[in-house]
Amino acid sequence: MKRIFIGIKVEPEETLLRMISSLQAVLASEKIKWVDPANIHITLAFLGDTEEERIKAASIVLSKICSDYNRFSFHISGTGLFKSYHNPRVIWAGIDNAEELSGINEQIARGLRDTGFNLEERPFSPHITLGRIKYVKDKSLLRETLERYSDTDFQDVDVKEVILFESILRPEGPIYKKTGIFRLS
């Protein structure tokens, strides 16, 4: 069994990296587990613990969908959080021009469900996770800091491939190992 997810790798550029560094500096006294910039991605589907045979089935689905799907791009813009400022859980950067991203997500989810995978039913909300919040003392500082970047444009991302990742959990942070690369046409 391997812990598997399907995603799009994002190579952070200078503007995004500066913002992340700024967030980390301003919120340094808070209990936030920051995502390593080398691990930044958009999750299209989380499969969880998956047997080798099922990984092969997912690979067949991805191969078919991606070979028929054209390359596209989207824009990373703004910051926010999941849950609320009273109970913050995840700090994220947002995605603009997400129509193609939502389209490929929908096709992949349909293909996986047709093959017997059980996926989360919640609506796709494209974002890049920047940090997972354990505890925040100064919630007004958190709000002020995120609002500073809420309308900031960070970078464009050209999508040429979808990746099947294995997530190897470690105390110092996860390692994401590429187990399959599926190029778009």
CB 122 within 8 A of CB 41: no
Q: In which band, very low, low, confident or very high, does the pLDDT at 171 lie, cut at 50, 70 and 90?
A: confident
pLDDT the model gives residue 87: 94
Q: How confident is the model at residue 19 (pLDDT cuts 50, 70, 90)?
A: very high
pLDDT digits (tens, 9 = 90+) for 37-54: 999 999 999 999 999 999
pLDDT the model gives residue 35: 95
Is residue 120 predicted with pLDDT exceeding 90?
no
Taking CA atoms, 148 is separated from 15, 25, 26, 44, 83, in Å, by: 14, 14, 12, 28, 19
Cβ atoms within 10 Å of 145's Cβ, excluding its own: 18
The CATH class of 2-183 is: alpha beta
Confidence of residue 168 (pLDDT cuts 50, 70, 90): very high
What is the predicted pLDDT for the residue at 172? 83
pLDDT band per the 50, 70, 90 thresholds, residue 97: confident
Residue 182 has a pLDDT of: 98
Residue 26 above 90 pLDDT?
Answer: yes
pTM for the complete prediction?
A: 0.93
Q: How far apart are CA 40 and CA 19, in angstroms?
A: 14
135 DSSP β-pair partners = 31
Coil, strand, or helix at residue 84?
Answer: coil
- 184, 162 in Cβ contact below 8 A? yes
pLDDT tens for residues 104-113?
Answer: 999 999 999 9
**How would residue 173 be classed by pLDDT, with cut points 50, 70 and 90?**
confident
Q: Is the pLDDT of residue 129 over 90?
A: yes
Helix, strand, coil tally for the chain in percent (to 5):
30, 40, 30
Chain-centroid distance, C-alpha 61? 20
Produce one character per residue of 20-34: b if its CB has 16 or more CB atoms within 10 Å, e if not.
beebeebbeebebeb
57: nearest Cα among 68, 45, 69: 45
Distance of CA 118 to the CA centre of its chain: 19
pLDDT over 90 at 95, yes or no = yes
pLDDT tier, 141 (very low <50, low <70, confident <90, very high otherwise)? very high
Count the residues in the chain: 185
Residue positions annotated with a catalytic role: 41, 127
